[in-house]
Homo-oligomer: A and B are copies of this chain.
Amino acid sequence: VQQYRITLLPGDGIGPEIMAVTVKVLEVVAQQEHIEFSFQEAPIGGAAIDATGVPLPDETLEMCRQSDAVLLAAIGGYKWDDLPANLRPEAGLLGLRAGLKLFANLRPAKILPQLLDASTLKPEVVNGVDIMVVRELTGGIYFGQPKGIFTTESGEKRGVNTMAYTESEIDRIGEVAFATAQKRGGKLCSVDKANVLEVSQLWRQRITELGKKYPDVELSHMYVDNAAMQLVRNPKQFDTIVTGNLFGDILSDAAAMLTGSIGMLPSASLGSDNPGVFEPVHGSAPDIAGQNKANPLAQVLSAAMMLRYGLNQPVAAEKLEAAVLQVLEQGDRTGDIMSEGKHLVGCQEMGDALIKVL
């Protein structure tokens, strides 16, 4: 029996309910696959602010460090929107990424045939779309110094952030991206703004250089404005995308929305020496929190990513993914992905359905 210590960070809004369902489902797969999980829970985001005054208590970060993987649900909510930036729920998330040095963020945007209709794009445009966005997560403008609001000589305020990448930061995420593309369709598109930004020029140079080590990966480069266009025009042209923190934030959300159902999309954040963090792409949806309406499937698929990328348990991962497809196939739908003729279920019932097919 393989044993794993998993830190659960339910966070805010619908976080606790989708996490509860996911843990139940994980227990079932664990038994089948001779895995033993010991789960420990810690506060983050708004919940942590309410309990301790800060969005990422030291104990939470330390507990994450001591575990084999971290499963995060969702953070944030209107309630904490007026706090200063460094005390808001988002700061907890950024602190977790930095604290665990999670420099690689994998965000798949895959169209499920069962949910093809959910897309706002024409079926022939999105049918078969399967994109992996590899986003750099601990550098770029999210963390670059100097940053802040300063006063100029003329006495007015000036807001400043710095987009910066060093060669080693670029190489590190580039390696992950090439390796990912190799295991997928063998095509990597690096997105930058090298026609304007020096930081992008360095990015492009290094990715090009790195590409020589991966002759089996077909490398291309695209400007970020064009990439935003091409995702809408013809998303099937993309296989794996690699880009910086800010561009990745924007493009992975645009790519996610092509599917029409962000309640379905997981993500993985990986470092080299620390456990990875696995979380859904969607937010904390405070408006439907506690009403048993939330879609737990992105959280379950995040657990599958945890099994695959964090714990090297690909068989268990596939089982979870297959179960998700099967409940969709049999017509079970939460409100966010409901369509005519399907069977509306709540968050818990969706969990029960998964357990039943497992």
Which A residues are closer than 8 A to B by beta carbons?
Answer: 85, 88, 90, 94, 120-122, 125, 141-142, 144, 147-149, 152, 156-168, 193-203, 224-226, 228-234, 246, 249-254, 256-258, 260, 262
The listed residue (B161, B225, B226) touching A163 by CB distance below 8 A is B161
In the complex, which residues of chain B have a beta carbon less than 8 angstroms from the beta carbon of A165? 158-159
Known: A121-B120, A152-B166, A164-B160. A229 touches B202 (CB 8 A): no
Cβ–Cβ contact A198 & B120, under 8 A:
no
A230 CA to B166 CA in the complex, in Å? 33
A232 CA to B165 CA in the complex, in Å? 30
A241 CA to B16 CA in the complex, in Å? 35
Q: Is the interface of A mostly helix, strand, loop or mixed?
A: helix
In the complex, which residues of chain B have a beta carbon less than 8 angstroms from the beta carbon of A142? 196
Question: What are 9 A-B residue pairs whose CB atoms fall within 8 Å in the complex?
Answer: A121-B121, A121-B122, A149-B198, A156-B167, A156-B168, A163-B163, A225-B249, A225-B253, A232-B258
In the complex, which residues of chain B have a beta carbon less than 8 angstroms from the beta carbon of A85? 194-196, 198, 201
User: Could you list 13 further interchain pairs (A-B, Cβ under 8 angstroms) beyond the known A161-B164, A225-B250, A230-B257?
Assistant: A85-B196, A121-B232, A142-B196, A147-B197, A152-B166, A158-B165, A159-B201, A159-B203, A161-B197, A161-B198, A193-B246, A232-B258, A250-B250
A232 CA to B129 CA in the complex, in Å? 15
A149 CA to B147 CA in the complex, in Å? 18
A251 CA to B201 CA in the complex, in Å? 22
The listed residue (B158, B201, B251) touching A228 by CB distance below 8 A is B251
In the complex, which residues of chain B have a beta carbon less than 8 angstroms from the beta carbon of A125? 120
Cβ–Cβ contact B234 & A254, under 8 A:
no
Nearest B residue to A252, CB-CB: B225
Cβ–Cβ contact A228 & B253, under 8 A:
yes
| Closest Cβ–Cβ distance, residue A142 to chain B (whole Å) | 6
